[in-house]
Each structure stands twice: as structure tokens, then as C-alpha cells.
Amino acid sequence: MNAATIFVHGFNGGVSSTGHMISAAQHAGWAQQIMTATITRYGRISITGSENVHAKNPIIQVLFENNRAPEFVQINWLHSLLILLKREFNIMEYNGVGHSLGSNDLVNEALLYGDDLRVPKLKKLVTIAGPFNGLRGFLHAKPVAEILKMDHRPVHQTKHFKRMLQYRDHFPKGVQLFNVVGKVEGYFDNDCFVSVNSARSVKYLLHGVLKDYRELLVTGEDGYHCSLNHNPMVFEAMNDFLWNDYATLPNMQTRQVPVMASEKNLSEDLATNAG
């Protein structure tokens, strides 16, 4: 059985948050969704569609009934699911794809429980618009060329980020990570929700423990937080990274659009559309 790939949505997200990515993978013939794992607000796990666990490149969609639960709660739910997948379905290896807070859930679960032999072995991660260092650096403004030259280490680190750094050595060895970052022109260095600095900080968080790190910066309107997980070019790059060992990830070419928003509007968006 090939590694199962687990898709995890973000804050306030749902089926459509990862559904388009799953559909794209299936349509391209790379993988097949075998089950949906719904976790109730009480932490109970409901599995549907598990009859074809030996499909080539099986996909599992994870749905949190309480999609606004605190991150530490979602991490524990995800950990329980991984234990169940190994124990009940003999899934020994897995990849993870996360959008927004789902990226944090996957990375932080592996940091906190990387030594737990009850969970499958992590092989590859795709993180899309992950707020790894919170919302720091949200209103900084730098040209794209300068951003790409910057150190991934955040100058100002949240308490949560510092705490996760302490678990770096517990992260599973040999993991490859593909990080997708968005930057919408006119919104300073961010995707309207997450700063470029915060999304890129995962490289520093996992410095020295990853087998391979690749990064894609998507600019223009396609770099919007809630567009990255609906972007066909991101789909193609994700599919190649996960399942095509002979592919070279492309340089993303996107449209540049002048858009502006007040800090007040950004805060309102963050409160309502973070999935």
C-alpha cells in the first residue's frame, strides 16, 4: 500500500477547502479518495467510504465538525486519527496536505508526537498559507525579489512558535516539505490573512530536520489566501511533488493586480473567512 495522503482544512473551513485539491488529484489520475474522516466537536471519529484502502495513492479527507476549535484541540484530534488509521486500517505511511491552520495542525502534530510509534510514518508535507508564526509581519512591505532573499528565521517570534521550536528534534526524519506562500499586491507582504514572513517561517522551524524543502511564492490575485487552495497551477505542483518522482516543480507565473484594503477590513476578513 502506498502512503495515504491526508488533507486537512483550515480555520472555519470545510469540504470545499480541500475538496478542489482532491478532485484535481483524482481527475489527473494520480490518486483516489478512499475515505472521509469526520471528527465531531467531542473528538469522536466517524469514517465513511473505507472499502478501498489499498487503492493506489489513497486520499483521506479530514473534516472537523467544530472548524473553529483551538489549534491544540485540532492537533490532538489529528493525532488520535493517525493512531486509528494505523491500528484499524494498517496505514503505515502518510503524506499531509494542509491549508491555512490545517498546515499548522499537520506540522505541529509531527513536532509534538514525532516519536510516537503508534502513528504512521510521515513522508511528505504540503503546507499552503500556514500561519506558523501567527500574524506577525502582516503590514511589512517588500518587493518579491527582496522577499525571496530574506532569511526564513522570523525576527519576532510568537510564544507558540518558540514553544514548537523546542520540539524540533522530535520531528520525524526524512520528511520532504513543499511550502506554498501567497502575496497579494497592495496588501503589503501577505495573502490578506497570513503574512509572507509567517508562512515562510516553517523552514526555520524545521531547520536541520527536513530531508528537502521547496517553496512556491504565488503573487497577484492568485496569491489570495482563499485562492491558493483553488489554484490549478498549485494543484499541478502539489500533484507532482507528492506523486511524480520525475517532475520539476515549475516557477509560478501569475497575474499582478492592484488591490488595497484597510487594516480594519483585513481584521474583519480574518474573523470570518480564515478557512
* All structural domains of the chain with their residue ranges: 4-272
User: The pTM is what?
Assistant: 0.86
Query: In angstroms, what CA-CA distances link 62 with 24, 106, 148?
Result: 17, 11, 32
With a cut of 90, say whether residue 120 has pLDDT above it: yes
Instruction: State residue 231's pLDDT score.
Output: 97
Q: What does the pLDDT read at residue 258?
A: 30
pLDDT for 245? 82
pLDDT range class, residue 259, cuts 50, 70, 90: very low
Would you state the pLDDT for residue 271? 38
Residue 163 has pLDDT above 70, yes or no: yes
Return the percentage of the chain with pLDDT > 90, whole number: 72
Which residue(s) pair with 58 in the sheet? Answer: 32
Q: What is the pLDDT of residues 88-114, one digit of tens each?
A: 999 999 999 999 999 999 999 999 999
CA gap 163, 173 in Å, rounded? 20
Q: Categorize the per-residue pLDDT at 255 as very low, low, confident or very high, splitting at 50, 70 and 90.
A: very low
pLDDT at 98: 99
Out of 84-98, 121-135, 146-160, 203-217, least confident range? 146-160
Highest mean pLDDT among 36-50, 123-137, 240-254: 36-50
Q: Which three cell numbers stand for residue 4?
A: 495515504
Q: What region, left, alpha or beta, does residue 263 occupy, with left being phi > 0 and alpha being psi -120 to 50 degrees?
A: alpha
Task: From the options 3.30.450.370, 3.40.47.10, 3.40.50.1820, 3.40.50.620, give the CATH code of 4-272.
Answer: 3.40.50.1820
Q: What is the mean pLDDT of residues 164-186?
A: 94
| DSSP type of residue 5 | E
pLDDT tops 50 at residue 257: no
Q: Which residues contact 239 (CB under 8 A, 6 or more apart)?
A: 24, 25, 28, 30, 31
- Measured CA to CA, the distance from residue 119 to residue 122 in angstroms comes to 9
- Report which of 147, 152, 148, 107 is spatially closest to residue 126, judged by C-alpha positions: 107
Report residue 77's pLDDT band, with 50, 70 and 90 as the boundaries: very high
